[in-house]
Structure 1
C-alpha cells in the first residue's frame, strides 16, 4: 500500500521534474523497501500536504455539485416563475402551477 501511495504522490507532485520522478520510480522497483523508507522520510510532509489538498478539492467539488443539484428554496422558485410570467415566457395558468408546486415542496 505504501508503494502505491508513493507512486500516486509522485504523479501528483507538480514541483518534481519528470526526470526525478523517473529516478524515484526506478529505485522503487529496484530497491522498494529502502526507497520507500527514504521517500517517506525525505518527502513525507509534502506527501501529506498534497493528499490534504486533493481531499479538500474533492470535498469542494462535491459541495458545489450538491448545491447545484439540491435546487433552490420555494421563494426563489416563485420569484423565478413570476419573472417568467412578467416576461411572457409562461401563461398565468403555468405560473399558478409552478407556484403550487413550489409551495407543495415547501410543506414536505
Structure 2
C-alpha cells in the first residue's frame, strides 16, 4: 500500500497544483531523497553522523508534512547509532511509500 496522508497530500498539492506530472516528480524526488538519507543513517557509526542523518530525514519529512516519518526521525534522534528497529521502521516507511 502506498503511503497516504492527508497532510502529505495537501503539501504535495500545494507544491504541484493541478499538475499530476509535477506531483509524480515531486513524489519520486521525495522518495529518492529519503533513500539517500536512509543510506547515510545506516552507515552512521558515531553519534554526530547518526544525529545529522536523522535530522536530515526529519527535515525532509517536515517539508512535506509526512507526520509518520517525522515521528520515526525523532525516534532515531533519541536512539543509539545503528539501532536496528529504527532503521527497519524507516525502511518499511520507504517501502510502503514507493508501492
TM-score under structure 1 length normalisation: 0.29
Q: Which has the higher contact order (CA 8 A, sep 6+)?
A: 2
The structure in which a higher percent of residues are helix is: 1
Greater C-alpha Rg = 1
Instruction: With the length of structure 2 as denominator, give the TM-score of the two structures.
Output: 0.31
